[in-house]
Homo-oligomer: A and B are copies of this chain.
Amino acid sequence: MKALRRGEAWSGAAGGQAGHEEPTRREELLRTAVDLFARYGYTGTSIRDIANAAGMSVSNIYHYFGNKEGLWLAILEYSINGLPDRLNAVWQSDLDPVERFRLLVKTHLSASKSHQKETRMFFIDQGEVSHRGNSRNKAIQTQILDIYVQAMDELRAAGYVHTREVKILAFNVLGVISWYLRWYRADGRLPAEKVHEEIANFVLHGVLGPAE
């Protein structure tokens, strides 16, 4: 039986918001890997880069994650794995259709921002990581797209959308959000809340089209 050790335990995986304990070596590796993967991509980051930046031996990566792809998947696990469910929950709530869609976008924005590097890292990936990792990534992105397509369909059925090409609308929304993850810097002039507000407005007007 695996006993709990040090700061690991039941708390998330790399978040470490339980108390102010020092991070596990495993968490330290995840943190470092996210940083490098998001900056240089999967193939652009070597196992040694990660280990050196984290100040330990490469063997630890194989001890904790099996191999490079396992490390990639572990990051996917704790960061965006649950995103589709969160978005679906928002869309199942019983609000006014338009305000519900606005909430959907804002939830997506703030959830992505809370794992900004991770989300960007998976959005940017193109198929550099080997088959299993890549297909899992693609599957999540497809799930998210489907949520938006469904949302657009319902909005259209309710008469809010004036185009038949709802899938293009869904793609556009994903494009705006994924790009936001690339340009947003936490030390910028505006607070994230305000930025999300602006982006949500843009998306809403783009989707709803000319008011009547």
A residues apposed to B, CB below 8 Å: 38-44, 124, 126-128, 163, 165, 168-169, 171-172, 174-180, 183, 190, 194-195, 198-199, 201-203, 205-211
Contact = CB atoms under 8 A, between A and B. Distances in A.
Across the A-B interface, the 4 shortest Cβ-Cβ residue pairs: A175-B179, A206-B206, A43-B44, A44-B128
Contact of A179 (B163, B178, B210): B178
A183 B138 CA distance: 12
Copies in the complex: 2
Mostly helix, strand, loop or mixed at chain A's interface? helix
9 contacts: A41-B41, A124-B126, A168-B198, A168-B202, A172-B179, A172-B199, A175-B175, A202-B206, A211-B211
A21 to B, nearest CB: 32
A55 to B, nearest CB: 23
A41 to B, nearest CB: 5
